[in-house]
Amino acid sequence: MANHAQKSGDYAVGMIAPGFFKPATVDVLVDYCSQVAAIASEVVFYFYHMPSMTGVNFSMVNSLEKACGRIPNLAGIKYTYEDLMDYYLCRTFEGGRFDILFGRDEILLSGLVLKVDCGPVRLPLTDITDKQYESVIGRLEKIGFFEFCGGQPFLSNPKTKSKCQISEIKI
């Protein structure tokens, strides 16, 4: 499928950890990802981290450390897990080099404290427009939500590599 995506002119390919023959270590996972990414080396590659569905749960910042030299087209991670510390470490890894999309809708409010980049979201938020999303962020800023949550220096300009607006994503 990765080869087909590249030949079709798609922007990116992504993969989730195998759920049947689970990788035993981070190194095995990165090796598996590198093989898939190499098949479509002309498009960007995302890893979909969703331990609740795969049963594979390694530190993603450790995965980035090992993968950044082995997967040249690695763009980032769709991070669908509750470990906000690991998420934050991924967001700040190498100065924010990678696109770390927030994927756990149930804790979106907690994620907003970290100025998350939202990836494609599922219902009921699928139909949210960019304007609605910006309105929510604006209202939270207006009431001092982000300052109240610690006042630490947030990532104010996310380095999202995706060229798609939230409203353009089709599920």
**Catalytic (active site) residue 46:** no
Q: Which of 7, 22, 32, 78 is catalytic?
A: 78
60 within 8 A of 90, measured Cβ to Cβ: yes
List 46's β-bridge partners, or say none: 14, 76
Sign of CA dihedral 109, 110, 115, 121: negative
**Residue where the block lists tokens 């609605």:** 132
**Catalytic (active site) residue 48:** yes
> Which among 12, 24, 9 has a CA at the least distance from the CA of 55?
24
Q: Which of 7, 22, 46, 48 is catalytic?
A: 48
> Which among 50, 77, 41, 45 has a CA at the least distance from the CA of 62?
77
CA dihedral in degrees (53, 54, 55, 58; nearest 10)?
-120
d(CA 89, CA 87): 5
User: CA separation (Å) from 21 to 27, 41, 55?
Assistant: 15, 24, 11
- Active-site positions read 48, 78
